[in-house]
Amino acid sequence: MNLKDGDTIAAIASATGKAGIGVVRISGVAASEIATKITKTILQTRTAHYSRFVDEHNQVIDEGIAILYKAPASFTGEDVLELQAHGSPIVLDLILERVLQLGARLAQPGEFSQRAFLNHKYDLVQLEAIADLINSSSREAARGAQRALQGEMSHLFSQIAERIKTFRVRIEAELDFSDEDIDILSLPEFEKNLTDLIHDIEQLKKKAQHSLYLYEGIKVVIVGRVNVGKSSLLNRLTNRAEAIVNAQPGTTRDIVNSNIAVDGIPLTISDTAGLRETNDVIEQEGMRRTRNAVQASDLLLLLVDARDGICATARALLSQCKAKPTLIVANKIDLLKAPTENAAFDVQISAKTGAGIDLLKQQIKARITHGNFLDSERSVVFANRRHIEALHTVAQLLSEITKHPRCQSTQQLELVAENFRLAQQALADITGTYGNEELLSDIFSRFCIGK
Ligand code: GDP
């Protein structure tokens, strides 16, 4: 991806498919001229013009709204033209074709965002936040992404970067003036400040990790014996007939995932193959996947038949997953003459009638909140995996320094200085401060065309 491209780029910026309105976006030096040629009018900046869009024979392709933004007051920081036409894929294609004829070229994925970055309109964290906002699957995730877009996260990262810079300045000064052994931790306030910094980074990382749940969803896995009603429960929770419900044992051989939101908290609920000994190869594979899903889960719903209590298979599973937050859910209470008083059950339901389902949702939410997966205070921080990995690297580099505080030689002091430099670089990569080209291409290529 050429980062210093002066071309004018164009793409359909709205979603594919038919809609009331569709948008073709153009960015670059030729945008203004293209505007004049396609609308046959001189557009005023930042003004909505109701206009015809014409082809090379002056045939009207469509009518709509044209808006011209002059650099640098636009998303990309260049001249930008937005043509809002009727949302027909054919019409939008014809408009795009005409725009390309007039000198623009087709934008690559993420190229609009890339230009916004290069023109310092947004940093990387903010641009990723736009992608997160578009892809968000819950209101909370959307709000979090919006805050990141406003620059909240970038500010937190740059505060840490500043603190690291202060250390670097101190160390560089020592390197310039000292040729004796140095116990860097004996430098005034050095140890305390460094420990505080590592602590703050760890806290930020933890909070960021929590916010990932908002974006990626909390993994809830339903496990239990064959025919206990797992698929029926999934269907009940999602209000869909997604998993196959069958009176024949062993029907769910693959993992079925569904996304639901409980009070705005996104959950990915998985139905798994029933736990039982089997010689059926496909079912054995299903069981292997079940165990993997259990490993990767955040919360387990162990489903049992209210008439049987917790069976040996379920007990075995429970003992294997002691560390996992688990809810023991008794199903088929509609078949009981009277409610069971089994204290081992966290909640009693009937997937068939829907009884107890609201209570189950409340319990799921309570476990999630109790398990500190989420709470509104923590979710103030909103980061993605890339940011969390970078924070992890920074914390590791700084912790290494505290493990070898005594620098016997200038060479060792230089190694400490190098750790600080690398830590600062890792942080700069989060916001893209130093414009690491490989990193930028990698990130922007994951955006879609028109973004
Ligand atoms: P799975 O093998 O655990 O996924 O179980 P299914 O969801 O396929 O259900 C097995 C059988 O139990 C089906 O015939 C369901 O209709 C029935 N079933 C599931 N939940 C209930 C329930 O709450 N009450 C009653 N009476 N039957 C249920």
Residue 280 pLDDT:
60
Distance CA 171, CA 385 (A): 31
Residue 240 pLDDT:
62
Give SS3 for 130: helix
* Residue 275 contacts residue 317 (beta carbons within 8 Å): yes
Structure token digits, residue 320: 């294997």
The residue ranges of the chain whose pLDDT is under 50 are 1-4, 241-253, 377-378
Distance CA 238, CA 269 (A): 9
Of 221, 222, 226, 227, the one to substitute when testing ligand 1's pocket (max ligand atoms within 8 A of C-beta) is 227
Residue 185 pLDDT:
64
Query: Residue with the nearest Cα to atom 22 of ligand 1?
Result: 332
Give SS3 for 140: helix
Of 348, 352, 353, 360, the one to substitute when testing ligand 1's pocket (max ligand atoms within 8 A of C-beta) is 352
Determine the residue type at 429.
Answer: D
Of the candidates 233, 236, 278, the residue with the CA atom closest to the CA atom of residue 253:
278
Alpha helix stretches (DSSP H) within 325-436: 357-370, 385-403, 410-431
pTM of the model: 0.65
Give SS3 for 68: strand
Q: Which ligand 1 atom is the nearest neighbour of the CA of 349?
A: 23
Distance CA 93, CA 10 (A): 11
Structure token digits, residue 20: 């009331």
* Residue 333 contacts residue 291 (beta carbons within 8 Å): no
Q: Phi-psi category of 151—alpha, beta or left, where left has phi over 0 and alpha has psi -120 to 50?
A: left
Residue 378 pLDDT:
46
Structure token digits, residue 36: 């004049």
Cβ < 6 A, ligand 1 pocket: 224, 226-232, 245-247, 251-252, 274, 331-332, 334-335, 350-352
- Read off φ and ψ for residue 74, nearest 5 degrees: -150, 175
Residue found by looking up tokens 């599973």 in the block: 317
Q: Evaluate the omega torsion of the peptide bond into residue 89 and state whether it is cis, within 30 degrees of 0.
A: no
Q: How far is the CA of 444 from the centre of ligand 1 (A)?
A: 47
Query: Residue with the nearest Cα to atom 11 of ligand 1?
Result: 247
Of 226, 230, 237, 245, the one to substitute when testing ligand 1's pocket (max ligand atoms within 8 A of C-beta) is 245
Q: How far is the CA of 227 from the centre of ligand 1 (A)?
A: 6
